């Protein structure tokens, strides 16, 4: 039985582990990395393992759960006498007291539940993540070029596709990330014959329709009020299957880079019109509103970009009138 941190697991190994019964899982697992696709697979495996053993499942948000709520979730007894699984989304936003409650529970043996914590941030960036990583089984949700190609092959196999030589490499070379790659594989699956083979025209059409999208360029355009560039970038992002959550991070990191300019902490400053602190605060407020709207079900992921554009435009207009 694994009861303490077992180094760093790949996503593929973590999927196998997290599908096991609760007694075979570590009390605390931390999945960290920038690839949304890989984090989603880890969470799916964690859920699936719980379904197989009839476990109760609870999702908590890192930026809204406090220490008492977390302690209650970890101490609760399953209503059906089985195991409990708790997923904490985005650990980088945990309050210090909640972090301490989680670590205290793990130190006490992690009784009553199995916990998966996920984050898009790199562990060295934040002390909270470093503390959790020192006590958790860590899952890497980043991918090297070689790993991206292996995942592409796995996606094609799971979709039942039989691609001609060089096609997979060509698709990989144009995909911004694994999530975008998975969307492209899904598009190809729709055009495939029953035996999984694809007509050459399908591959040519797909390649010809691709563009090079950038969440960072979209964020810079929206914050600068450049609606034309923002619309063009949004169309490119849609074409490449890049969701709204990645765009939220791009806006947030650009704003936080102004308000808290620590070069090790924020990686997506990028080029563009320099931000004033006031503009950065407006952008960050728009991100918070969008995040709350997403969690409450008011908007869907694909609607986040438009939501943020409206919020920033509205706040910028109000600020301009106030200063007039």
Domain identity same for 46 and 135: yes
Domain identity same for 310 and 254: yes
Q: Of 94, 119, 140, which residue is a domain's last? A: 140
What are residue 319's phi and psi, to 5 degrees? Answer: -65, -40
Predicted confidence at residue 190, as pLDDT, reads: 84
What are residue 268's phi and psi, to 5 degrees? Answer: -115, 40
- In the chain, the number of structural domains is 3
Predicted confidence at residue 161, as pLDDT, reads: 92
- Give CA–CA dist 308/142, Å, rounded: 27
Domain identity same for 135 and 155: no
pLDDT tens, position by position, 50-89 = 999 999 999 999 989 999 999 998 887 655 556 899 999 9
- Give CA–CA dist 33/200, Å, rounded: 35
Sign for the CA dihedral angle at 85, 91, 95, 99 comes to positive
Structural domain includes residue 265? yes
Predicted confidence at residue 267, as pLDDT, reads: 41
Contacts of 76 (CB under 8 A, 6+ apart): 84, 112, 113
What DSSP designation does 179 have?
H
> In this structure, are residues 218 and 246 in contact, taking their beta carbons and an 8 Å threshold?
no
C-alpha distance from residue 11 to each of 38, 46, 118, 133 (Å): 6, 12, 12, 16
Structural domain includes residue 1? no
Domain identity same for 62 and 104: yes
Domain of residue 69, CATH code: 3.40.50.300
Domain identity same for 91 and 179: no
Q: Of 108, 140, 172, which residue is a domain's last? A: 140
Structural domain includes residue 323? no
Domain identity same for 130 and 22: yes
Domain identity same for 106 and 17: yes
For 18, the domain range is 8-140
Domain identity same for 14 and 59: yes
Residues of the chain with pLDDT under 70: 1-6, 77-82, 200-212, 239-240, 260-274, 320-324
Domain identity same for 42 and 89: yes
Domain identity same for 202 and 225: no
Domain identity same for 15 and 77: yes
Domain identity same for 79 and 197: no
Structural domain includes residue 124? yes
How many C-beta atoms lie closer than 10 Å to residue 280's C-beta?
Answer: 20
Structural domain includes residue 321? no
- Give CA–CA dist 104/87, Å, rounded: 17
pLDDT tens, position by position, 124-176 = 999 999 999 999 999 999 999 899 999 999 999 999 998 877 778 888 887 88
C-alpha distance from residue 157 to each of 112, 119, 180, 253 (Å): 38, 28, 17, 36
- Give CA–CA dist 60/190, Å, rounded: 35
Structural domain includes residue 126? yes
Q: Can you state the percent helix, strand and coil of the chain, rounding each to 5?
A: 60, 10, 30
Structural domain includes residue 322? no
């Amino acid at each position: 039985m694994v009861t303490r941190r077992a180094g760093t697991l790949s996503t593929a190994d973590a999927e196998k582990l997290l599908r096991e019964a609760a007694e075979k899982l570590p009390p605390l697992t931390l999945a960290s990395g920038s690839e949304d696709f890989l984090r989603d697979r880890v969470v799916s495996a964690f859920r699936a393992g719980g379904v197989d053993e009839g476990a109760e499942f609870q999702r908590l948000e890192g930026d809204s759960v406090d220490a008492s709520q977390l302690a209650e979730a970890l101490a609760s007894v399953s209503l059906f006498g089985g195991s409990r699984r708790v997923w904490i989304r985005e650990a980088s936003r945990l309050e210090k007291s909640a972090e301490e409650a989680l670590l205290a529970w793990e130190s006490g043996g992690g009784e009553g539940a199995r916990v998966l914590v996920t984050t898009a941030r790199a562990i060295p960036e934040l002390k909270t993540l470093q503390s959790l990583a020192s006590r958790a089984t860590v899952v890497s949700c980043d991918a090297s070029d070689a790993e991206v190609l292996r995942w592409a092959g796995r996606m094609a196999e799971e979709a039942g596709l039989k691609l001609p030589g060089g096609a997979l490499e060509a698709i990989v070379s144009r995909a911004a990330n694994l999530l975008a790659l998975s969307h492209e594989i899904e598009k190809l699956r729709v055009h495939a014959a029953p035996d999984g083979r694809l007509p050459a025209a399908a591959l040519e059409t797909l390649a010809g329709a691709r563009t090079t999208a950038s969440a960072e360029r979209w964020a810079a355009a929206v914050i600068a009020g450049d609606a034309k560039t923002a619309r063009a970038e949004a169309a490119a992002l849609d074409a490449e299957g890049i969701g709204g959550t990645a765009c939220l991070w791009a806006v947030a990191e650009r704003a936080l880079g102004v308000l808290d300019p620590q070069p090790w902490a924020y990686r997506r400053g990028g080029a563009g019109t320099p931000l004033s602190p006031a503009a950065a605060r407006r952008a960050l407020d728009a991100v918070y509103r969008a995040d709350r709207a997403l969690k409450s079900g008011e908007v869907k992921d694909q609607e986040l970009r438009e939501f943020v554009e409206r919020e920033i435009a509205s706040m910028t207009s109000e600020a301009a009138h106030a200063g007039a």
